[in-house]
């Protein structure tokens, strides 16, 4: 500061603001150093050259469709972030078996805290997860700011009603076919997954950073993570559904767990139960929509993908999303200092479950039970070429 006589002196009224900002940044950096993950080598699952014309045409058609949509948000403002790699644990892990779902007890959702009954198999800690308060329990009249990255991702979320209507229309069209052309119940479920996958491609195409990539890089990223995005979409829907004894489909229909157990077969039933376990883990962490969109974005921009032409952009997107998620958890859950790390560990569970689901689907495909000539099957083959 400078006095009226141009001599140095005076009092810096902005000191407390600088100190608070510096303290927040130091806290963020300390958490990153404490919770950093070592990127492990994973098997190559995408070949250098892909000849997937269906996915390419899908992306190109979405390019054309996007011209009729409202303009996307402007480029991001850079976020202050200490560079640190994020990598999910090795793909070699398996999802451990647990007791049947009947032993789970979901408390009522509003204004509750919950502690997980199960140990975390992805860390060396043996104690139960800490409890987390819902955001509405905080006394602050105005919530802390939401990072710009997360705000943009929220704006780009698909309209659930439109997705539901389109999938229902597609299924009704299938049901209207002749008796010999009608799909089985499992075939209809695959058709539902295929249409959900198409909406995921549409979402990815509109995403910040992703839309700046060449089509080849977009295809590689989607071929790497499509099953994880499908699993995460299903799991988050169950988290919102909040019912122990039924599964909510993307069409809005509820399927009783007893029906799943009776008709799905042992392998598919086990996958559904393990998905419900993951729902329980996410519920114990009080995962909200802001964290969901950020985690989904992190799945899309996995650093495991090889041979990207613009790897720098993908890494930059990963780092900015990590920084935004860390900042959000610090501001909105100040008493849960471990939440950021726990959220990233849940991505490892999503990946492990998605790989098992892929193997099951591929086995069903080889036996002729999965409809062919669709995006789902193309993605399934992409990792095996």
- CA–CA separation, 219 vs 221, rounded Å? 6
Measure the N-to-C terminal CA separation of the chain; round to a whole number of Å.
Answer: 66
Q: What is the mean pLDDT of the chain?
A: 75
Smallest Cα–Cα separation from 230: which of 274, 152, 296? Answer: 296
CB neighbour list of residue 348: distance below 8 Å, 6 or more residues apart = 88, 89, 93, 122
Question: What is the arithmetic mean of pLDDT over 181-203?
Answer: 90
Kindly tell me if the per-residue pLDDT of 140 is higher than 50.
Answer: no
Identify the pLDDT of residue 183. Answer: 79
Identify the pLDDT of residue 192. Answer: 94
Identify the pLDDT of residue 93. Answer: 36
Query: 11-20, 312-321, 356-365 — which is least confidently predicted?
Result: 11-20
Identify the pLDDT of residue 30. Answer: 63
Identify the pLDDT of residue 372. Answer: 84
Identify the pLDDT of residue 105. Answer: 35
Structural domain boundaries in the chain: 55-79+137-224+287-382
**Helix/strand/coil for 8:** strand
Kindly tell me if the per-residue pLDDT of 200 is higher than 70.
Answer: yes
Cβ pair 170, 195 in contact under 8 A: yes
Smallest Cα–Cα separation from 146: which of 333, 327, 343? Answer: 327
> Which class would CATH give 55-79+137-224+287-382?
mainly alpha
Q: Percentage of the chain with pLDDT > 70?
A: 61
Cβ pair 104, 118 in contact under 8 A: no
Q: Tens digits of per-residue pLDDT, 58-83?
A: 665 555 544 444 444 333 333 333 33
Q: Which residues are annotated as a binding site for a phospholipid derivative?
A: 265-268, 360, 364
Question: What is the arithmetic mean of pLDDT over 216-237?
Answer: 97
Identify the pLDDT of residue 145. Answer: 86
Identify the pLDDT of residue 62. Answer: 52
Identify the pLDDT of residue 34. Answer: 56
Q: Tens digits of per-residue pLDDT, 254-295?
A: 999 999 999 989 999 999 999 999 999 999 999 999 999 999
CB neighbour list of residue 241: distance below 8 Å, 6 or more residues apart = 247, 248, 254
Kindly tell me if the per-residue pLDDT of 336 is higher than 60.
Answer: yes
- CA–CA separation, 64 vs 14, rounded Å? 50
Structural Rg of the chain based on CA atoms: 23
Smallest Cα–Cα separation from 239: which of 181, 179, 296, 281? Answer: 281
Determine whether 227 is exposed, middle or buried from the number of CB atoms within 10 Å of its CB (0-12, 13-18, 19+): buried
Cβ pair 59, 205 in contact under 8 A: yes
Kindly tell me if the per-residue pLDDT of 184 is higher than 80.
Answer: yes
Identify the pLDDT of residue 32. Answer: 58
Q: Which residues pair with 248 in a beta bridge?
A: 254
Identify the pLDDT of residue 65. Answer: 46
Identify the pLDDT of residue 177. Answer: 75
Kindly tell me if the per-residue pLDDT of 89 is higher than 60.
Answer: no
Smallest Cα–Cα separation from 154: which of 207, 195, 105, 117? Answer: 207
- DSSP class of residue 104 equals -
Identify the pLDDT of residue 253. Answer: 93
Cβ pair 281, 346 in contact under 8 A: yes
Kindly tell me if the per-residue pLDDT of 23 is higher than 80.
Answer: no
Packed helices 15-35 and 339-366: angle between N→C axes, nearest 10 degrees: 40
Residue 19's Cα: distance from chain center in Å?
Answer: 35
Identify the pLDDT of residue 11. Answer: 52
Q: Which residues are annotated as a binding site?
A: 265-268, 360, 364
Kindly tell me if the per-residue pLDDT of 322 is higher than 90.
Answer: yes
3-state SS of the chain: helix, strand, coil percent to 5? 55, 0, 45
């Amino acid at each position: 500061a400078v006095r009226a006589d141009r001599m140095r002196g005076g009092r810096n009224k902005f000191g407390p603001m600088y100190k608070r900002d510096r303290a927040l940044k130091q806290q963020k950096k300390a958490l990153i150093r404490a919770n950093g993950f070592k990127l492990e080598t994973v098997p190559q699952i995408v070949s250098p050259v892909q000849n997937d014309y269906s996915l390419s045409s899908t992306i190109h058609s979405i390019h054309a469709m996007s011209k009729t949509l409202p303009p996307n948000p402007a480029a991001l403002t850079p976020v202050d972030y200490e560079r640190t790699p994020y990598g999910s644990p090795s793909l070699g892990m398996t999802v451990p078996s647990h007791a049947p779902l009947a032993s789970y007890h979901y408390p009522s959702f509003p204004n509750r805290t919950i502690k997980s009954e199960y140990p975390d198999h992805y860390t060396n800690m043996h104690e139960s997860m800490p409890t987390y308060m819902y955001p509405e329990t905080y006394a602050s009249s105005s919530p802390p700011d939401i990072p710009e990255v997360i705000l943009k991702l929220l704006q780009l979320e698909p309209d659930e009603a439109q997705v539901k209507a389109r999938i229902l229309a597609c299924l009704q069209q299938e049901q209207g076919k002749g008796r010999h052309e009608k799909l089985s119940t499992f075939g209809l479920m695959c058709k539902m997954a295929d249409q959900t996958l198409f909406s995921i491609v549409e979402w990815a195409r509109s995403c910040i950073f992703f839309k700046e990539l060449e089509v080849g890089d977009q295809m590689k990223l989607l071929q790497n993570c499509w099953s994880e995005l499908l699993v995460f979409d299903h799991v988050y829907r169950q988290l919102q559904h909040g019912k122990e004894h039924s599964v909510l489909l993307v069409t809005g229909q509820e399927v009783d767990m007893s029906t799943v157990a009776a008709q799905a077969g042992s392998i598919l039933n086990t996958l559904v139960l393990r998905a419900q376990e993951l729902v329980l883990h996410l519920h114990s962490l009080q995962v909200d929509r802001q964290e969901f969109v950020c985690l989904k974005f992190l799945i899309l921009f996995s650093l495991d993908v090889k041979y990207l032409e613009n790897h720098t952009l993908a890494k930059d997107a990963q780092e900015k999303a990590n920084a935004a998620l860390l900042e959000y958890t610090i501001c909105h859950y100040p008493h849960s200092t471990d939440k950021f790390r726990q959220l990233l560990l849940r991505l490892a569970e999503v990946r492990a479950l998605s790989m098992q689901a892929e193997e099951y689907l591929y086995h069903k495909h080889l036996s002729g039970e999965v409809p062919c000539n669709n995006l789902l099957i193309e993605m399934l083959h992409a990792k095996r070429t």
